[in-house]
Amino acid sequence: MIRRTRHLELLKRQLDNFPVVAILGARQVGKTTLARQLEVDWVGPRHHFDLEDPDDQARLADPAFILRELKGLVVLDEIQLRPDIFPLLRVLADRSDMPARFLLLGSAAPELLKRIAETLAGRVVFHELDGLALDEIAPFASEPDWLDIRWLRGGFPRALLANDMQLSREWRDAFIRTYLERDLPQLGIHLPALTLRRFWTMLAHYHGQTWNGSELARALGVSDKTVSRYLDILEGTFMAYRLLPWHANVGKREVKAPKVYVADTGLLHSLLGIGEREALLAHPKCGASWEGFVLREVIRRTGAKRGEAFFWGVHGGAELDLLILQEGRRLGFEIKLTKSPQVTASMRSSKETLALDHLYVMCHGEGEPWPLTEGVTAVPAACLVSEQWLPAR
One domain, residues 299 and 180: yes
Residues 174 and 282 in one domain: yes
Q: In this structure, are 114 and 154 located in the same domain?
A: no
| Residue 245 domain-assigned (yes or no) | yes
Query: For the residues of 132-144, what is the DSSP string, one character each?
Result: PPHHHHGGG--ST
Pairwise CA distance, residues 330 & 308, whole Å: 10
* Same domain membership, residue 317 and residue 291: yes
The total number of structural domains in the chain stands at 2
Give residue-wise pLDDT tens across range 151-164. 999 999 999 999 99
Sheet order of strands, 329-335 included: 309-313, 319-326, 329-335, 358-363, 376-380, 370-373
Residue (of 150, 59, 170, 79) closest to 120 by Cα position:
79
Mean per-residue pLDDT, 300-310: 91
Is residue 46's pLDDT more than 70? yes
- Which domain-ending residue is among 111, 128, 145? 128
DSSP tag of 83: G
For residues 99 and 188, state if they share a domain.
Answer: no
**CA-based angle 196:201:207, to the nearest 5?**
120
Residue 393 lies in a domain: no
Non-local (6+) Cβ contacts of 61 within 8 A are: none
How far is residue 295's CA from residue 333's CA, in Å, rounded to a whole number?
8
* 35 domain-assigned: yes
User: Which pLDDT score is estimated for 110?
Assistant: 58
- Is residue 65 a part of any domain in this protein? yes
Domain residues for the domain of 321 are 134-385
Q: At what angle do helices 86-93 and 110-119 cross, to 10 degrees?
A: 30
Question: Would 391 be classed as within a structural domain?
Answer: no
Q: Of 108, 128, 148, which closes a domain?
A: 128
- Considering the entire predicted model, what is its pTM? 0.93
Whether 234 maps to a domain, the answer reads yes
Domain presence at residue 202: yes
> For residue range 343-392, what is the model confidence (pLDDT) as tens digits?
999 999 999 999 999 999 999 988 899 999 999 999 999 999 887 777 66
- pLDDT given at position 393: 61
Give the least confident one: 247-251, 274-278, 298-302. 247-251
List of residues 6+ apart from 290 with CB closer than 8 A: 151, 335, 337, 364
Residue 246 has pLDDT above 70, yes or no: yes
What letter does residue 182 receive in the DSSP assignment?
I
Residue 153 and residue 266 share a domain: yes
Check whether residue 106 and residue 189 sit in a common domain.
Answer: no
Residue ending a domain, among 128, 148, 170, is: 128
Q: Are strands 259-262 and 209-210 parallel, antiparallel or unpaired?
A: antiparallel
